Chains A and B, each alone.
Chain A
Amino acid sequence: MLTTVLGFSLYEEGLLFGLRTASRLILLSFSILMFFISTPLTVLIDYLQNKGLPTYFVLMLLLTLHFIDQLPSRIHQIFLAQQARGAPVDAGVFSRTKALLSILSPLVLSSIVESIERGTALELRGFLNRPPPDRQTGQVDTRINLLTVCFYLTAFFIIADSIYRWLNI
């Protein structure tokens, strides 16, 4: 046993199990996220269509990714608008938590409304009947950034740990 926290006993095996499970979940999420974040939207739809994904699903994905792309600037705009109405964004933790709803709520509401409009606009340009592109998508530039690095590091450690454990058995 390692220690006791709030009346719960913490064991080494439990801790390692937790870490291992968590890293596997993180690896899974990163793999999915990595694909989308490292592929520019401009190339993504052609690629997915080539792989046979129906245009309707491509549209849904497009709208979701656009929302994620816009998140930082939207949050900033909303933050400024609410701050100008006296929202306590520079006060204590409790006040800032109360102010959180005034940031998240417009973010979600306006994004839903805008996504519907965006989807309609794409439909109105014939997107849903889009023929699969003739050209094959060539090499895709992957962006090297913090996320990519974390992904590869995590993958490395998990694989290394698995190999180590396998060798020890």
Chain B
Amino acid sequence: MAQHLTIRDFSLQYSASDPKALSSLSMDVTAGSCCAIIGPTGAGKSTLLHCLAGTMRRHHPESVASGQIQIGDLAFTGLPNQILFPVAGLVLQDPYVQISGVRDTVFEEVLFTLENLGTIPQDPQKEILSLLQRLGIDHLVDRKPTSLSGGETQRVALATILIAQPPVLLLDEPTTALDSKAQEKLRSILFSLRGKTTTLLTDTLIDYALGVADQIFLLDHGAIIFHGDPRTLLSQVHNFSSTFPAEGWLGAQSLLSPLEEPSGHMQLVAKALGLR
């Protein structure tokens, strides 16, 4: 069951003497929707995800946080002081690092998560196979998890988190290690998760997010400088030229100059993205 995620006025410093890594963030993510947080390196995207996953307090005990985080019925003032899995599941950027190395097959690797949680169902075969099918990796069920390609490994890592049916799914720069085909597969998986899980993903580039997210937040130096849907963002391209230099948008340098009229530009992009 997907859950609503709310952040109110959340700030974080790694220690009392450090500058703010996150500044008064406020976000409302509807249950079951997909939200993208885009920002340059060092903007605080990973930091935010780790705060939501509960690892921040564990790994940085001297960090100072204020504000509210609410995931469904769970509410925290400042940082959650424990790892929130299986309420919030976090998939890290490097897919290979998430394969435990203590299990011989993909099936056992996914089962490992349920062992950790102590919630192995009556018929684990059925549940795990069905999940692997949805992710398009059922043909890998007996393969060694360490012998797969980047895209396959990432989907296995995703399976190890999704098997716990987290109401909130956090993805840290999921497209980094993927080629275009694998990125397309991930996109269809994210579409299929709509309604079932609330997804938050981060990225440094805007292109991908435009095609998958219901809502986009632009993060720069720890603060939100824009939030809205993809269409609105596209119509305000030039407002963010310092964080996202205009010639870097969509990677197409020549595209922006011949199109003077913003709405024409927008229509074109929407058409190419297959947006309604």
A interface residues with partner B (beta carbon < 8 Å): 41-42, 44-45, 62, 66, 69, 114, 117-118, 120-131, 133
Contact = CB atoms under 8 A, between A and B. Distances in A.
A42 B104 contact: yes
B97 A121 contact: yes
Chain A residues touching B, majority SS: helix
Contact of B103 (A42, A123, A129, A133): A42
Number of contact residues on B: which range applies? 20 to 34
A62 B116 CA distance: 15
B102 A129 contact: no
A66 B99 CA distance: 11
Contacts of A124: 53, 55, 83, 85, 89-90, 92, 161
Which A-B residue pairs are the 7 nearest by beta carbons?
Answer: A126-B116, A121-B98, A131-B118, A117-B97, A130-B116, A41-B102, A125-B113
Nearest to B108: A42
B130 to A, nearest CB: 20
Contacts of A69: 101
Contacts of A129: 116-117
Contacts of B161: 124-125
Nearest to A65: B101
Contacts of A45: 102
Nearest to A58: B102
B115 A117 contact: no
B14 interface: no
B101 A123 contact: no
Interface string B108-135: 1000110111100000000000000000
Nearest to A125: B113
